[in-house]
Amino acid sequence: MSKLVTIFGGSGFVGRYIARRMAREGWRVRVAVRRPNEALFVRPYGVVGQVEPVQCNIRDDASVRAALRGADAVVNCVGILNAVGKNSFDAVQAEGAGRVARIAAEQGVGRLVHISAIGADAKAASDYARSKAAGEAAVLGAFPGAVILRPSVVFGPEDEFFNRFASMSRFGLVLPVVGAGTKFQPVYVDDVAQAAVAGALGKANAGVYELGGPEVATFRDLMADMLHVIRRRRLVLNLPFWVARIMAFGFDMVQGITLGLIENKMLTRDQVKNLKLDNVVSDGAHGFAELGIQPVSMDAVLPEYLWRFRPSGQYESLKESARNLGTR
């Protein structure tokens, strides 16, 4: 019988790519999610019955234990950018991560891969960064042989980074950003998936790997690159941090007053804290090189999914070709 991997958050942005690659490796894939009826799209990643979504709440021991039953490997992709209700940063990214590792060790699961993030720091001002660090510590405490991956901002067809700002650029002549001078090292989602699969297959040594793409650029420069791809001319306006804090406070208050019914998907106070710090691979950190992976550049990927934000969508390239013919 083929081996079984349980992927917590396996229908999410990063998780679905890991699930697809594990299925290609011939593994049975159990995708553990809160709402399995919304994750049925993962089934075609393999042959009939090879990839199956199951219900699981990472905050519950019994739920996690059931999802891990019989697994040979586990990958935890669960993470949040905004705390809503019971899904606080500590509950999900610290306690939840530790719960997965502890129960995996109890059940004799062979390998564990945990997706964290660059910037994880127990002394950080951000709750997000502190909970990521706490999660890493809990994982290593229960499962010392774990592989921990810390990606920078992840991009790809389903991302909430370039897609979000490209969508915003369709309205108005100004594109506001917070922390325009902050540096990022965007990493392609499938490269992160390759790294996770290497860990699950036992092809990566235990430890922490920081994952960044070939390019390091400021937030402003990333937006300029994105605007070039979508053929739009906009002023990238840097919002001062004090203005951003006021705006974020208002958005957070709306979420609080409505008890989470209106979720703050714009900007939180915690995100403002994160945007003050560079998000790049540390000097001397293990990364793609140690995993034998050559990361893909943004230029090779962004046009493949951002074309829909061009003024004429898929027809923009045809119009450009016609204009070029006219100049010959």
| Residue 114 near residue 199 (C-beta atoms within 8 A) | no
Does residue 87 lie within any of the structural domains? Answer: yes
The residue range of the domain holding 98 is 4-158+185-214+279-296
Angle of helix 13-24 relative to helix 189-200, nearest 10 degrees, comes to 50
Q: Write the pLDDT tens digit of every residue in 229-284.
A: 999 999 999 999 999 999 999 999 999 999 999 999 999 999 999 999 999 999 99
Does residue 195 lie within any of the structural domains? Answer: yes
| Cβ count near 31 (within 10 Å) | 30
Q: Write the pLDDT tens digit of every residue in 129-142.
A: 999 999 999 999 99
Does residue 22 lie within any of the structural domains? Answer: yes
Does residue 307 lie within any of the structural domains? Answer: no
Does residue 309 lie within any of the structural domains? Answer: no
Q: Nearest-5° angle of CA 185, CA 236, CA 82?
A: 60
Say whether pLDDT at 327 is over 80: no
Q: Write the pLDDT tens digit of every residue in 95-122.
A: 999 999 999 999 999 999 999 999 999 9
Say whether pLDDT at 83 is over 70: yes
What is the domain count for the chain? Answer: 1
Q: Any idea what the CATH number is for the domain that residue 144 is in?
A: 3.40.50.720
Does residue 227 lie within any of the structural domains? Answer: no
